[in-house]
Structure 1
Amino acid sequence: MKRVLLVTGLAASLAACGGHVPATLPSLGEVATFEVVAANGGAGRGWDGVVEAVRRSDLSAQTAGRVIAVEVDVNDRVAAGAVLLRISAVEQDAAANAARAQLRAAEASAAEAEQNYRRFAALANGQFVSKAQIDQARAARDSAVAARDAARAVVAQAAQQSAYTVVRAPFAGVVASRDVEPGETVAPGQSLMRVYEPRELRIEVSVPQTRAEAIRRDPRARVVLPGGREVVPAEVTVFQAADAASHSVNVRVRLPGLDPPPAPGTTAKVVFDAEAGTAGDGGVAPLRIPLSAVAQRGELSGAYVKQGDRLLLRQLRLGARVGDSVEVISGLQAGDQVARDPVAAMQALAAQRKQAGTANE
């Protein structure tokens, strides 16, 4: 049904472009074609992966409060330590003030206990106080010192809670997402923002365990980014352990510094030189055809294939685009004769049908 719709759509678009079928249409013999060949010539085999940032940070609230200011937005560049967001600190500041007051009281108690111990120690030389009194004074002093140290820890904890109300950038980077607005109430653990470093990117792909050793011996590769841009990775790391469920091995590819850098989350294809000339999972080497030979109508893709004295429109399932060519996952076979110009092929097909109709009359 999809092939019928594709043929009908192409014919309708031809009529719509010119208002009518041209009086003089190219014949079948005038349609230029090329032979589809398997891409074995050192092109290598690739696997799809997702671009991710090496340094990325999901910033979450570490204290409760109300968001009073958001200083940055999505796509803003921030410096290390820059203020990103502020949370109300009324409760945190009050707790910090109370902790400092308790610390002063504990320090005074510790100082008094120290003085009492020294007095009892001086009197003990003249045997004016008993040994039990000396021990009690020493215990009171040690207890006051411990209470003072605990109060200092409470002050440090309260000060840290106050510091959590100002969210700062952990490193220089770009704001990837912003999950809160001023006026919202946040709780500990709630997501606030996401920051990443665009200059340090990598891709992880899963390859069959049967291919891992060859890639480990020859880690040369190239990365095909969205839009057809190709780059040579800075480093290729093949994991030693395989996944027990999928029996695949992860390969991590670190990208060089790029301008502009690809956005994290986009897909890319990693092609390994060690896999050049190998067949796909189904035992068939990948095929590529020029993009100009693809007839695109909406979500359907096709190509005109010449068989003897006939032109047939085949629906294609396309893969990754590399430069001016595209990978054909299904729909074509090596040796097929494909029309270089879909428009000329469509016109020749219309002429073929017209001649057939005239002959029938």
Structure 2
Amino acid sequence: MVQPTRSTAVEAIYATGSVEPTVMLPIAPRVAGTLASLEADEGSQVRKGQVLARLEDTDLSSTVDELSARARYAREQFERTEDLVQRGFVSSTELDRTRSDLDAADASLRRARTLRDFTALRAPADGVIIRRDGEIGQYLAAGQGLFYLSCCAPLRASVEVDEEDIVRVHVGQKVVLRTDALPGRTLDGEVSQVTPKGDPVARSYRVRIRLADPAALKVGMTVDANLIVAERANALLVPSAAVQGGHVWIVRDGRLHRQSVRTGVLGAERTEILEGLDTDAHVVLDPNEGLHEDHRVFERMAVTAPKNP
């Protein structure tokens, strides 16, 4: 037996998911090549401009050396021609030609050096590497993501909500979360996004949750979320298992009686009673089909502790 208690009534939708970055930047090479070295890994804290990986640059370095030699020769030719023009031995037309040759050689050298610089992958911002999709010796196409960087924004939670419950979920809805990584602690949040298209196989919709205090969390941590549908303070509550089809069984003067009740907020653990009971009632905790009106019983009170979502 239990007696009704007064506390906060909570009805919630339960969902599970994980912590993810709000912003995730892909980092990809701007030129194709073979991965020569890795200088950061998953979990690495990096700074903007830091080298994360390098591609093989042997061919590009050879090209730079060759074009450097050509640019030096073009400059020598230009300077020699400039001297000859000043001494009146050649025309200014020849000087214009050598200047054009020098400009072209310098431009080719700059392009080659830029391509060689592109073989070093650098962090575009401060952050944490949360994924790496490549190994040394692997060939990478230009634009193929190698690292994924969490940066610039706080973490959030992403959970999957059953399609039968999604109509009761909306942006701004209060959420209470727990994670095994922080035993005994709850985290507050609110729904920030409900994806418009569900997963027809899993029959669920992805819901993203803005966290009030994400500092203690890390990317990838699993979370249990209770999305609050209804909440009422100072409600009269009984264990949900005691309520059967709009009635409960109570014991009065040592005998069973079937008592009609009107329920309010329906929680997974406890249900609000709006009418039909008071705090003095002795309620059968887990009634079965064998109960009958006016049967004599021996009472044994159960100890129940209030539970939050």
Q: CA deviation at 1:37?
A: 8.1
Q: Please give the root-mean-square deviation of Cα atoms over the aligned residues, in Å.
A: 5.2
State the alpha-carbon separation in 2 of the partners of residues 109 and 88 from structure 1.
34
State the alpha-carbon separation in 2 of the partners of residues 138 and 164 from structure 1.
39
State the alpha-carbon separation in 2 of the partners of residues 259 and 163 from structure 1.
36
Q: Of 105, 130, 133, which residue of structure 2 is paired with 1:151? A: 105
Question: Mind listing any 5+ residue stretches in structure 2 that lack a counterpart?
Answer: 12-16, 159-169, 180-185, 193-207, 250-257, 260-265, 278-283, 296-309
Q: CA deviation at 1:162?
A: 1.5
Q: Does structure 2 conserve the Cα–Cα contact (< 8 Å) formed by 1:82 and 1:169? A: yes
Residue in 2 that maps onto 1:86:
54
Residue 183 of structure 1: SS of its match in structure 2?
A: coil
| Cα deviation code 1:269-293 (max 9, x no counterpart) | 9x9xxxxxxxx9xxxx72589xx95
> Is the alpha carbon distance of 1:223 and 1:287 closer, same or farther for their aligned partners in structure 2, counting shifts above 3 Å?
closer
TM-score of the two chains, using structure 1 as the length reference: 0.49
> Is the alpha carbon distance of 1:184 and 1:114 closer, same or farther for their aligned partners in structure 2, counting shifts above 3 Å?
same
Residue in 2 that maps onto 1:200:
153
Give the residue type in structure 2 aligned to 1:305.
V
State the alpha-carbon separation in 1 of the partners of residues 47 and 97 from structure 2.
47
Residue 345 of structure 1: SS of its match in structure 2?
A: coil
How many residue pairs get aligned? The number is 234
State the alpha-carbon separation in 2 of the partners of residues 61 and 139 from structure 1.
44
Residue 285 of structure 2: SS of its match in structure 1?
A: helix
Identity of aligned residues (%): 23
Q: Does structure 2 conserve the Cα–Cα contact (< 8 Å) formed by 1:36 and 1:287? A: no
Q: CA deviation at 1:98?
A: 1.7
Q: CA deviation at 1:179?
A: 0.6
Question: Mind listing any 5+ residue stretches in structure 1 that lack a counterpart?
Answer: 1-29, 41-48, 124-132, 206-210, 216-220, 237-251, 272-279, 295-302, 312-317, 319-324, 339-343
Q: Of 212, 229, 249, which residue of structure 1 is paired with 2:187? A: 229
| Cα deviation code 1:146-196 (max 9, x no counterpart) | 321222222122112212222222333211100101110112111110112
TM-score of the two chains, using structure 2 as the length reference: 0.55
Matches within 5 A, 1:112-123: 112-120=80-88
State the alpha-carbon separation in 1 of the partners of residues 93 and 35 from structure 2.
48
Q: Does structure 1 conserve the Cα–Cα contact (< 8 Å) formed by 2:35 and 2:55? A: yes
Q: Of 230, 233, 237, which residue of structure 2 is paired with 1:286? A: 230
State the alpha-carbon separation in 2 of the partners of residues 100 and 337 from structure 1.
93
Give the residue type in structure 1 aligned to 2:44.
D
- Decide which structure has greater helix share: 1
Q: Does structure 2 conserve the Cα–Cα contact (< 8 Å) formed by 1:66 and 1:185? A: yes
Give the residue type in structure 2 aligned to 1:182.
I
State the alpha-carbon separation in 2 of the partners of residues 327 and 103 from structure 1.
80
State the alpha-carbon separation in 1 of the partners of residues 275 and 35 from structure 2.
64
Residue in 2 that maps onto 1:23:
none
Give the residue type in structure 1 aligned to 2:154.
L
> Is the alpha carbon distance of 1:202 and 1:70 closer, same or farther for their aligned partners in structure 2, counting shifts above 3 Å?
closer
State the alpha-carbon separation in 2 of the partners of residues 261 and 156 from structure 1.
45
Matches within 5 A, 1:207-218: none
Q: Of 128, 135, 141, which residue of structure 2 is paired with 1:174? A: 128
State the alpha-carbon separation in 2 of the partners of residues 354 and 260 from structure 1.
50
State the alpha-carbon separation in 2 of the partners of residues 192 and 334 from structure 1.
57
Q: Quick check: 1:260 aligned with 2:210?
A: no
Q: CA deviation at 1:117?
A: 2.2
Q: Does structure 2 conserve the Cα–Cα contact (< 8 Å) formed by 1:68 and 1:87? A: yes
